[in-house]
Amino acid sequence: MNRSLPLLVLVVGILGWSVTLGAQVAAAEGPASLGKSAWQSLRPASYVDTPTLSSPSPIHGDIRYYSYAPAIPASGDAGWQQCGASSVVCPNADSINMHLTSRLPGGGCFEYADFTFFQSMVSVPAGTAVTEFSIVMSGADDGARVSLFNSLYPAGLVLNPGSYIFLGGAQTTTNLKDYVAAGEINRVVITQVDDCPTENNLDSAVISLNGNVLPTLLTPTVATAIHNAAHATVTSVATGTVVHDSVTVTGSGATPSGNVTVTWFANGTCDGTPAATSSAAALAGGSVDVVAFTQTPVAGGTYAFRASYEGDATYQSADGPCEPLTVTSSKLTPTVVSTIHDAAHAAVGSVLPGTTVHDRALVSGTGAVPTGTVTVSWFTNSSCTGAASATSGTTTLASGAVDVTGFPQTPAVAGHYAFRVSYSGDAAYDPATGPCEPLTVTSATDGDGTVVTICHVPPGNPAAAHTIVVGTPALQAHLRHGDYEGPCGSGVPSTAAGSVKPGHGRFHGKPVFSSAQFAQAVFAGGSEAEFEAALSETGATGAWTQDASGDLVLYIVRGGFVNGKFKTAHPSGFATPAAVILVGGSS
């Protein structure tokens, strides 16, 4: 049965467009030219058996058949075949021209359905005003359905009944103008159905703009290579290497012209949002080295470029492959530690509302003393999750350390906060980020309405001692764990010169060591020799104390003070009582 019917026409109307078909639209984003890709076809392996349709009696191309159709294949499905002279299904890349013998079993109509898919990518430049997008179809034996895919309808748009064509019925779809997305590729898929065992035809399908047939744009090939500053192709570089992308676009027609853009990803798979995107770079002879868009990765890891070609009057827009780049580091890995300080530079982990705090950063490593800068981020939670509520400017390290007093924070409300330090890296060290530093801001009262300031000494880590504020009911529990009343360093030696009276070299009370072999005690004052004698009596191997600036200083029995500056500042020993942390003794 030869059902000779008129042409299938996809019509798109454009307001205010008076240039030649395929010309670029000014200031376009996305596709540069109006056009379509060559048709492609995909035939499932076999027809499907459909239940007998009744009530009402079926018509050719009945909408109910599509509920038995296979899912529309993805645009990149390997089963898609290019239409053209070598294709049995669709020998015309511009207009399909399918004429096949039906493969349905002999007998009557309406017992089986055989589906064939066709797709074409329609380029619609940004700024295009679409006033009509409709399909006029005939030659579809026995019916067809049109689906439209774009960013507005990623799952595909089908209107019932406006997207359907029937043999012997209405041949024009509803106006789909409101569903077209400008500035991108709109995918058009025709699902053709054969429901009668005679012929299987789709005479023609063309896409038209304002009654003019939209040209079939050729599909280009976008090839890319990552170059270093010497224009050598690289796939793996050391940190600090300057790289850019080189793009070549080729095709079966004239040499491609137009622009490319390049995106840079902080991963090797081009997933997610790009870290940076170039401006448009014009092709010259089909190629361009995008040297105006250089990247210099400073940390080891995997990165990637991807080039996008916007198309021209001959070629459709296209993306190049993802280009992974492995960045290896020959630099050392630094250690970033930091401490929260109050205005007096005492280490704190808990403060009252209204207390001004800042961060002190220390960067160390196995090589030279790190140089470079740090930035500090402030969070309104204790885990440094989410976006920072504030971030400092860069502060330069001095001998590997810096008090970031230029970035003070004064939390006014009780709750949990945190600092985190990020190090820039330098010629010897990679960038690095320090741990999250939680800060608890307590309410002004607790339990019985009073609070007390104590020095909290983490078990096994006396060097991390810091001042906190706790409710009075919690004081005894802290004291039992080795903390002591008063801010850390409240018993530091006096910086003023003064003599030490002999015989003062003793501890107030007998130090009691915890299971971790630490004990809190107050040394009444005395010479260095008296201090060592008092330590030896307890069985301690050493002790921690603080100098006037709040820095912890270690004294080793039979070894003296590790910090020579401390001894120089206090040649006579401890002029006043001093809070100390004894290490490695016995009770």
CATH at 438:
2.70.50.60
CA distance 548 to 344: 10
Q: Hey, what are 109's tokens?
A: 């109509």
Would you say residue 470 lies in a domain? no
Would you say residue 469 lies in a domain? no
Residues 18 and 144 in one domain: yes
pLDDT of residue 460: 59
> Which residue range(s) make up the domain with 400?
335-444
Would you say residue 204 lies in a domain? yes
Asked whether the beta carbons of 475 and 452 are under 8 A apart, the reply is yes
Distances 321 to 77, 242, 270, 352, 371 between C-alpha atoms, Å: 17, 21, 9, 56, 39
Answer whether residue 368 shows pLDDT above 70.
Answer: yes
Asked whether the beta carbons of 275 and 266 are under 8 A apart, the reply is yes
Q: Which value, to the nearest 10 degrees, does the dihedral of the CA atoms of residues 104, 110, 111, 112 take?
A: 40
What's the order of all strands across the beta sheet hosting 466-471? Answer: 466-471, 451-456, 484-485
- In whole numbers, what is the pLDDT of the chain averaged over residues? 83
pLDDT of residue 493: 39
Answer whether residue 418 shows pLDDT above 70.
Answer: yes
141: confidence class by pLDDT, cuts 50, 70, 90: confident
Q: How would you classify the pairing of strands 560-561 and 578-583? A: unpaired
Which range, 282-286, 447-451, 545-549, has the best average confidence (pLDDT)? 282-286
Interval 481-489 mean pLDDT: 65
Residues 405 and 511 in one domain: no
Residues 172 and 250 in one domain: no
Answer whether residue 9 shows pLDDT above 50.
Answer: no
Count CB atoms within 10 A of the CB of residue 415: 15
Burial class (CB in 10 A: 0-12, 13-18, 19+), 231: exposed
pLDDT of residue 288: 98
Q: Which of 444, 470, 499 is at the close of a domain? A: 444
Place of tokens 């800042």: 358
pLDDT of residue 552: 72
Residues 108, 109, 111, 112, CA torsion sign: positive
- pLDDT tens sequence across 89-131: 999 999 999 999 999 998 889 999 999 999 999 988 888 888 8
Q: Which of 217, 251, 275 is at the close of a domain? A: 217
Q: What is the DSSP letter of 509?
A: S
Would you say residue 459 lies in a domain? no
Answer whether residue 379 shows pLDDT above 50.
Answer: yes
Would you say residue 136 lies in a domain? yes
Helix (H, G, I), strand (E, B), or coil: what is residue 100? strand
CA distance 23 to 17: 10
Query: Across-strand partners of 377?
Result: 391, 420
CA distance 255 to 284: 9
Residues 210 and 247 in one domain: no
Q: What is the DSSP letter of 23?
A: P
pLDDT of residue 329: 82
Please give the tally of structural domains in the chain: 4
Answer whether residue 491 shows pLDDT above 50.
Answer: no
414: confidence class by pLDDT, cuts 50, 70, 90: confident
- pLDDT tens sequence across 231-275: 999 999 988 899 999 999 999 999 999 999 999 999 999 999 999
Interval 286-292 mean pLDDT: 97
pLDDT of residue 27: 33
| Nearest Cα to Cα of residue 227 among 276, 320, 289 | 289
Interval 304-315 mean pLDDT: 95
What angle is formed at CA 60 by the lines to CA 12 and CA 138, rounded to 5 degrees? 30
Burial class (CB in 10 A: 0-12, 13-18, 19+), 337: middle
Would you say residue 168 lies in a domain? yes
- pLDDT tens sequence across 30-58: 788 888 899 999 999 999 998 877 788 89
Count CB atoms within 10 A of the CB of residue 38: 18
Q: Hey, what are 578's tokens?
A: 């001093």
Asked whether the beta carbons of 243 and 295 are under 8 A apart, the reply is yes
pLDDT of residue 115: 97
Interval 63-90 mean pLDDT: 95
Would you say residue 449 lies in a domain? no
Answer whether residue 534 shows pLDDT above 50.
Answer: yes
What angle is formed at CA 569 by the lines to CA 564 and CA 573, rounded to 5 degrees? 90
Answer whether residue 310 shows pLDDT above 90.
Answer: yes
Interval 359-369 mean pLDDT: 92
In the chain, DSSP finds a helix count (H) and a strand count (E) of 3, 44
pLDDT of residue 477: 65
Give the amino acid at 142: D
pLDDT of residue 17: 29
Residues 124 and 245 in one domain: no
CA distance 126 to 4: 38
Burial class (CB in 10 A: 0-12, 13-18, 19+), 144: buried
Q: What percent of the chain has pLDDT over 90?
A: 49
**Which of 157-161, 445-449, 557-561 shows the lowest per-residue confidence on average (mean pLDDT)?**
445-449
pLDDT of residue 528: 82
CA distance 567 to 571: 5
Give the amino acid at 233: T
pLDDT of residue 399: 93
Q: How would you classify the pairing of strands 395-396 and 221-228? A: unpaired
What angle is formed at CA 212 by the lines to CA 209 and CA 213, rounded to 5 degrees? 85
Query: Across-strand partners of 439?
Result: 417
Residues 94 and 175 in one domain: yes
291: confidence class by pLDDT, cuts 50, 70, 90: very high
Residues 301 and 287 in one domain: yes
Q: Which of 299, 328, 357 is at the close of a domain? A: 328
Residues 438 and 508 in one domain: no
Asked whether the beta carbons of 180 and 123 are under 8 A apart, the reply is no
Would you say residue 467 lies in a domain? no
Q: Hey, what are 465's tokens?
A: 């001692």
Residues 201 and 246 in one domain: no
List of E strands, 512-551: 518-523, 542-546
Answer whether residue 447 shows pLDDT above 70.
Answer: no
Answer whether residue 484 shows pLDDT above 80.
Answer: no
Residues 6+ apart with CB under 8 A from 398: none
Asked whether the beta carbons of 240 and 295 are under 8 A apart, the reply is no
pLDDT of residue 53: 79
| Nearest Cα to Cα of residue 429 among 372, 381, 356 | 372
Q: Hey, what are 106's tokens?
A: 């002999």
The pTM of the full predicted model, rounded to 2 decimals, is 0.54
SS (H, E, C) 450-486: CEEEEEECCCCCHHHCEEEEEEHHHHHHHHHCCCEEC
- pLDDT tens sequence across 157-192: 999 989 998 886 667 778 888 998 988 999 999 999
Answer whether residue 16 shows pLDDT above 80.
Answer: no
pLDDT of residue 230: 95
Which has more pLDDT, 482 or 154? 154
Residues 556 and 419 in one domain: no
Count CB atoms within 10 A of the CB of residue 341: 22
Residues 48 and 162 in one domain: yes
Interval 456-479 mean pLDDT: 68
Burial class (CB in 10 A: 0-12, 13-18, 19+), 493: buried
Which has more pLDDT, 440 or 470? 440
CA distance 59 to 168: 9
Helix (H, G, I), strand (E, B), or coil: what is residue 208? strand
- pLDDT tens sequence across 210-230: 777 788 899 999 999 999 999
**Which of 129-143, 333-347, 352-366, 437-451 shows the lowest per-residue confidence on average (mean pLDDT)?**
437-451
CA distance 53 to 109: 11
Residues 179 and 73 in one domain: yes
Asked whether the beta carbons of 302 and 268 are under 8 A apart, the reply is yes
